[in-house]
Every structure is written in structure tokens, then in C-alpha cells.
């Protein structure tokens, strides 16, 4: 398996523009997570999907952020409009498991977002 695949690896955009980050989880994994990493706050969970359904989006910072998982092999995280404080590394992770148990998380290589 190629692991968790994220695209793009790097994204530089101007303030106010829409940004879409993409993730392909490991085949067979039924849980998907979006995390954000910054120097100040470390790794924070943004949203968690189980069987393509959003279970916990309490970490989504505000309405400018939205995430979808239209099928088991694809998820997007969208920021509209983007702001400089959104600059961070965004990681996608997948896991086999769900409420009650999981078998460890596999992370993608991340998308480094810079909003200027």
C-alpha cells in the first residue's frame, strides 16, 4: 500500500482565496482524521470521520473550515476564505477502527500551507 496520500505537498495562497487540501486514506481503513500542526499549538485534531461520516468536528476552528468525505477513498479539507493565521502543516491520518477501538494511526506527509 502507498500509505496515506496528501496533496498538494505545499500550497502558497493569498489571503481571501479558497484552499482545498486532499487526502486519500489507506485502503480498508474506516477512520480518517485531519490534524493541524503549528509551532505554538502543536498537533491539533480538526475533524474525525468514521465510515465516511463526520463524527467529531469540534476542533474545526471556525466556519471558514469545512471537510468532506464523499467516499471511503477520498477526503477534502477546505478553507474559504483563507487567512494568514491559517498557515500551518495540515496532516491527514487514517486508521482501522472506530468508536471503541483502533489499531494505530498512519499519517500522510502533510500539506504545508502558507497564506500571505
Give the separation between CA 51 and CA 101, rounded to whole angstroms: 14
Which among 41, 55, 46 is positioned nearest to 102, based on CA atoms? 55
Residue 86 φ/ψ, nearest 5 degrees: -80, -10
CA atoms within 13 A on the CB side of 45: 13
| Beta carbon of residue 42, minimum distance to another protein (angstroms, whole number) | 5
Nearer to another protein by C-beta: 86 or 90? 90
- Least Å from the CB of residue 44 to another protein: 8
Site residues (vs another protein, CB under 8 A): 33, 42-43, 45, 48, 55-56, 91, 93, 98-110, 112
| Shortest CB 110 distance to another protein, Å | 5
Residue 48 or 65: the one with the smaller Cβ distance to another protein is 48
Amino acid at each position: 500500500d502507498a500509505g496515506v496520500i496528501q496533496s498538494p505537498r505545499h500550497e502558497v495562497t493569498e489571503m481571501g482565496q479558497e484552499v482545498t487540501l486532499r487526502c486519500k486514506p489507506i485502503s480498508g481503513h474506516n477512520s480518517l482524521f485531519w490534524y493541524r500542526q503549528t509551532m505554538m499549538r502543536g498537533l491539533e485534531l480538526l475533524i474525525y470521520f468514521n465510515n465516511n461520516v463526520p463524527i467529531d468536528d469540534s476542533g474545526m476552528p471556525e466556519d471558514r473550515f469545512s471537510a468532506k468525505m464523499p467516499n471511503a477513498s477520498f477526503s477534502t479539507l477546505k478553507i474559504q476564505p483563507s487567512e494568514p493565521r491559517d498557515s500551518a502543516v495540515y496532516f491527514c491520518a487514517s486508521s482501522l477502527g472506530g468508536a471503541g477501538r483502533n489499531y494505530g494511526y498512519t499519517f500522510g506527509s502533510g500539506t504545508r500551507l502558507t497564506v500571505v
